[in-house]
Chain A
Amino acid sequence: MSKLYSGAEIVFKCLEDQDVEFIFGYPGGAVLPIYDELKNHSSIKHILVRHEQGAGHAAEGYARSSGKPGVVLVTSGPGATNVVTALTDAYMDSVPLVCISGQVPTHLIGTDAFQECDTTGITRPCTKHNWLVKDIKDLSKILHEAFRVATTGRPGPVLVDIPKDIQFAKIGYSKPKTEKKLNGKSLNLFSQNDINNLIDLMNKSKKPIFYSGGGVINSGPEASESLRELVQLTGFPITSTLQGLGAYPGDDNQFLGMLGMHGTYEANNAMHDCDLLINIGARFDDRITGKIDEFSPNSKKIHIDIDPSSINKIIKVDLALVGDVNHVLKSINKTLKSKKIDLKKSNKQKISKWWEQIQKWRTKNSLNFKNSDENIKPQHAVQRLYELTKDKDVFITTEVGQHQMWAAQHYKFNKPNRWMTSGGLGTMGYGLPAAVGVQIAHPKKLVIDIAGEASVLMTMQEMSTAVQYNLPIKIFILNNQYMGMVRQWQELLHEKNYSESYSEALPDFIKLAEAYGCKGIMADKPSELDEKIKEMVQYDGPVIFDCRVDPNENCFPMIPSGKPHNQMILGPSEKEENKITGKGKALV
């Protein structure tokens, strides 16, 4: 007879076999047996958050910066419902999370018991898959499958709901054997023929562009290497989505900057005018495409993605390569090299005009802004932060809003997994707990949350977590006293009726920092900014930096909603003639 283990022990056996080092969680009645077992497993460290949403975002930050799945442990009822925002966020941005939730004992399910909720029902639309464990015999199989579902294919969150009686029940445990395929769901469906067709199109193209996304990051650091090789081999320009930043060096000359609603003039115009568009691991999100009917009207479109349902979902493409980005890119590079096709040389003549055009667009200097000696401009603050930290290996998280776009525009990333931001769901309050998770994964690195004062207050309680675990995260708040992006849209769409977008009673962030037991810094003059940023970076411990910026600054350039790529607003002076009208007003 093999040794019998309790359900709670099996949970840890599985976590150990999956090489889990950290769990982000919060205890409660329905997970007490699992928490009781924690003491017997020294290889697994539990990070106690202050709210379950924080656990979810911290696990996301951990996963995105380390490439390993994030593990969350919450109790039944409110514990599970609190984590729903983070699960949805992870689902939208394809972040691998394994969430374990406690549930009331099986005999009480359906009786409206204390802290009972239909967790699998609630989380069904925001997870790749979820399980309610009704029998101890299924527990280890389900947990291992949960890790596989979360991490294979297009990654995403999963949830395993374990009733309390199952956590007490006993059964034997054996290590999982070889991996069984997911109902035969194969990942790499492209052929050499597809690769040849792609290379043929690249050969013929006069105005090509690469458009890369978060799929490159998800495919692992090697995919970024392959991408750099491909871009170098071809000499083509490359632009990136918000989530793809860092896959290609932000300061390289072939990089046109981010595209989309707040992307650069050159990137968006190049997308509009190109004759060959190669999408690598991105999903034609509406922030990227603008008006669908007029999206890149004259180009052949190629889509490389691991998720077959991403192909032709929004934009019809001419050639689809379904597979892991790194696999596809390696095949392309290999074929280019083996056929001795030197696109860089042979195409030089053909695409030199294209580069000339791009240079013309670049001279617009679309990220430019009017700096000031009196007020700190938020763009200037991000630029100074970048200049003063770029010699270090920095990890940046953000909240959601204007500051997020300024961070994306003005902070340059040279490595993958250094940029964690909520793109799909747009979750205010993401950045601070995400920074906690990033710092857990990289204890010695500099982790900065570029934040807005409104967003950061949504999950401010996690500063307490940061202090408890000595996590020296830096919360760099661009404080303009407004929900800036809301105010910007009200300015553009609602005749400057700033309905409820001004925060009248903000806390004193220095005192708040001190109350949490960390350091508070405030800057409101451009002349003191550099000194104070250095002070923040040098301080060994968590810091809340209240950077008081010009409250009226708007985020430009911008594609107004309902407009195509080539009709950008470049700055405040241009707003009048490019007003958002008609249907565009109803879009988000």
Chain B
Amino acid sequence: MANPKSAYSVSTKKEKTDTHIIVVWVDNESGVLARVVGLFSGRGYNIESLAVAEVDAKKNISRITIVTTGTPQVIDQIKLQLKKLVPVHKVADFKRNDKGVIFKEMALFKVVGNTNKIKKAINACKKYDAVILDKTKKSNVIQITALRREIDKMAKNLKKFGLVSVSRTGAVAMTRGDKTFN
């Protein structure tokens, strides 16, 4: 949503929206994901993709990575609203085009067809660190890690080589170099 959230803010000025990756560190307790996701849906913010898993079993902390779009004002609101949630420890925000940050998604492709087609499919996937996870005479399950748009493209391209099923994660992110976000 490009507009700020008020019935009276039917703004005449159109602001540019950007894609941001929001990373949230939360207590891994029941309902915490619902709180985060509910905040987004309740306030009309977008979620393009979502990845969540526990990252510190000792401290019981999960890391949620959300890809979202919005004007700078909306992105600020998202961060500030997230910080108000009781189980949230910290919130980081990266622009998608930030060179200092690595973004990756993983996808699994199931390709069914003759050997020739499967070979072509594997070849097409090669530049995205393709790993063959399962292999039969008639099928292959290929894993790749890449950017969102690259996976979009591959999912389209592989159709002609017998792609029958796609499963993919949301994006995860990490800063380059020795720095961590505090």
Is the pair A588, B38 in contact by a Cβ cutoff of 8 Å?
no
Q: Which of B96-136 contact A (CB under 8 A)?
A: none
Contacts of A39 in B (CB 8 A): none
Indicate if B7 sits at the interface (CB-CB under 8 A): yes
Stretch with Cβ within 8 A of B (4 or more), from A17-25, A121-129, A327-335:
A121-129
Is the pair A132, B38 in contact by a Cβ cutoff of 8 Å?
no
Stretch with Cβ within 8 A of A (4 or more), from B52-60, B73-81, B140-148, B162-170:
B73-81
Is the pair A309, B8 in contact by a Cβ cutoff of 8 Å?
no
Stretch with Cβ within 8 A of A (4 or more), from B29-37, B62-70, B153-161:
B29-37
CB within 8 Å for A307 and B12 given contacts A286-B7, A587-B7: no
A311–B4 alpha-carbon span in the complex (Å): 12
CB within 8 Å for A129 and B86 given contacts A293-B11, A583-B10: yes
Indicate if B88 sits at the interface (CB-CB under 8 A): yes
Indicate if B84 sits at the interface (CB-CB under 8 A): yes
Indicate if B89 sits at the interface (CB-CB under 8 A): yes
Q: Which of B1-17 contact A (CB under 8 A)?
A: 4-13
- Within the complex, the shortest CB–CB distance from A307 to chain B, in Å, comes to 7
CB within 8 Å for A588 and B7 given contacts A183-B86, A307-B84: yes
CB within 8 Å for A289 and B83 given contacts A120-B31, A124-B35, A309-B77: no
Is the pair B77, A308 in contact by a Cβ cutoff of 8 Å?
no
- Within the complex, the shortest CB–CB distance from B42 to chain A, in Å, comes to 5
Q: Which of B8, B13, B42, B87 contacts A290 (CB 8 A)?
A: B8
- Within the complex, the shortest CB–CB distance from B92 to chain A, in Å, comes to 15
Is the pair B84, A314 in contact by a Cβ cutoff of 8 Å?
no
Is the pair A309, B81 in contact by a Cβ cutoff of 8 Å?
yes
A149–B88 alpha-carbon span in the complex (Å): 14
Indicate if A182 sits at the interface (CB-CB under 8 A): yes
Q: Which of A283-321 contact B (CB under 8 A)?
A: 286, 289-293, 307-309, 311-314, 316
A149–B85 alpha-carbon span in the complex (Å): 10
Question: Which interface class (under 10, 10 to 19, 20 to 34, 35 or more) fits A?
Answer: 20 to 34
Contacts of B76 in A (CB 8 A): 312
Indicate if A562 sits at the interface (CB-CB under 8 A): yes
Indicate if A185 sits at the interface (CB-CB under 8 A): yes
- Within the complex, the shortest CB–CB distance from A179 to chain B, in Å, comes to 14
User: How many residues of B are in contact with the other chain, CB < 8 A?
Assistant: 28
Is the pair B86, A124 in contact by a Cβ cutoff of 8 Å?
no
Q: Which of B39-55 contact A (CB under 8 A)?
A: 42
A462–B24 alpha-carbon span in the complex (Å): 45
Contacts of B42 in A (CB 8 A): 125
Contacts of A308 in B (CB 8 A): 80, 83
Main secondary structure of the interface of A (DSSP, over half): loop
Is the pair B30, A132 in contact by a Cβ cutoff of 8 Å?
yes
Is the pair A128, B11 in contact by a Cβ cutoff of 8 Å?
no
A454–B77 alpha-carbon span in the complex (Å): 38
- Within the complex, the shortest CB–CB distance from B95 to chain A, in Å, comes to 19
A124–B36 alpha-carbon span in the complex (Å): 11
Is the pair A185, B83 in contact by a Cβ cutoff of 8 Å?
yes
Contacts of A309 in B (CB 8 A): 77, 80-81, 83-84
Is the pair A128, B4 in contact by a Cβ cutoff of 8 Å?
no
A314–B87 alpha-carbon span in the complex (Å): 26
Chain B: CB-nearest residue to A128: B86
Contacts of A134 in B (CB 8 A): 30
A562–B89 alpha-carbon span in the complex (Å): 40
Is the pair A292, B8 in contact by a Cβ cutoff of 8 Å?
yes
Chain B: CB-nearest residue to A154: B84
Q: Which of B9, B34, B83 contacts A121 (CB 8 A)?
A: B34
A587–B83 alpha-carbon span in the complex (Å): 30
Contacts of B12 in A (CB 8 A): 293
Is the pair A562, B8 in contact by a Cβ cutoff of 8 Å?
yes
A583–B77 alpha-carbon span in the complex (Å): 26
Contacts of A120 in B (CB 8 A): 31
A120–B87 alpha-carbon span in the complex (Å): 15
Q: Which of B9, B86, B88 contacts A292 (CB 8 A)?
A: B9
- Within the complex, the shortest CB–CB distance from A120 to chain B, in Å, comes to 6
A3–B81 alpha-carbon span in the complex (Å): 42
A562–B11 alpha-carbon span in the complex (Å): 11
A121–B32 alpha-carbon span in the complex (Å): 11
Is the pair B31, A124 in contact by a Cβ cutoff of 8 Å?
yes
A494–B9 alpha-carbon span in the complex (Å): 23
Contacts of B80 in A (CB 8 A): 308-309, 311
Is the pair B88, A183 in contact by a Cβ cutoff of 8 Å?
yes
Interface 0/1 of A89-125, CB less than 8 Å to B: 0000000000000000000000000000000110011
Contacts of B87 in A (CB 8 A): 183
- Within the complex, the shortest CB–CB distance from B105 to chain A, in Å, comes to 29
Contacts of B88 in A (CB 8 A): 183
- Within the complex, the shortest CB–CB distance from B24 to chain A, in Å, comes to 12
A124–B35 alpha-carbon span in the complex (Å): 7
- Within the complex, the shortest CB–CB distance from A154 to chain B, in Å, comes to 8
Contacts of A562 in B (CB 8 A): 8
Contacts of A183 in B (CB 8 A): 86-89
A312–B85 alpha-carbon span in the complex (Å): 19
Contacts of B77 in A (CB 8 A): 309, 312-313
A312–B75 alpha-carbon span in the complex (Å): 11
A519–B85 alpha-carbon span in the complex (Å): 47
- Within the complex, the shortest CB–CB distance from A320 to chain B, in Å, comes to 11
- Within the complex, the shortest CB–CB distance from A426 to chain B, in Å, comes to 13
Contacts of A149 in B (CB 8 A): 86
Contacts of A125 in B (CB 8 A): 38, 42
Contacts of B38 in A (CB 8 A): 124-125
Contacts of B6 in A (CB 8 A): 286, 289, 292, 314
Query: What are 6 contact pairs spanning A and B, CB under 8 A?
Result: A121-B31, A124-B31, A286-B8, A291-B8, A314-B9, A561-B8
What are the 3 tightest A-B residue pairs by CB atom distance, in nearest-first order?
A309-B80, A286-B8, A292-B9
In the complex, given contacts A121-B31, A183-B88, A286-B6, what are 20 additional A-B residue pairs having Cβ atoms less than 8 angstroms apart? Answer: A121-B34, A124-B34, A128-B86, A129-B85, A286-B8, A290-B8, A292-B8, A292-B10, A292-B11, A308-B83, A309-B81, A309-B84, A312-B77, A313-B77, A314-B5, A314-B6, A314-B9, A316-B73, A562-B8, A583-B10
What residues make up the interface of A, taking CB atoms closer than 8 Å to B?
Answer: 120-121, 124-125, 128-129, 132, 134, 149, 182-185, 286, 289-293, 307-309, 311-314, 316, 561-562, 583, 587-588
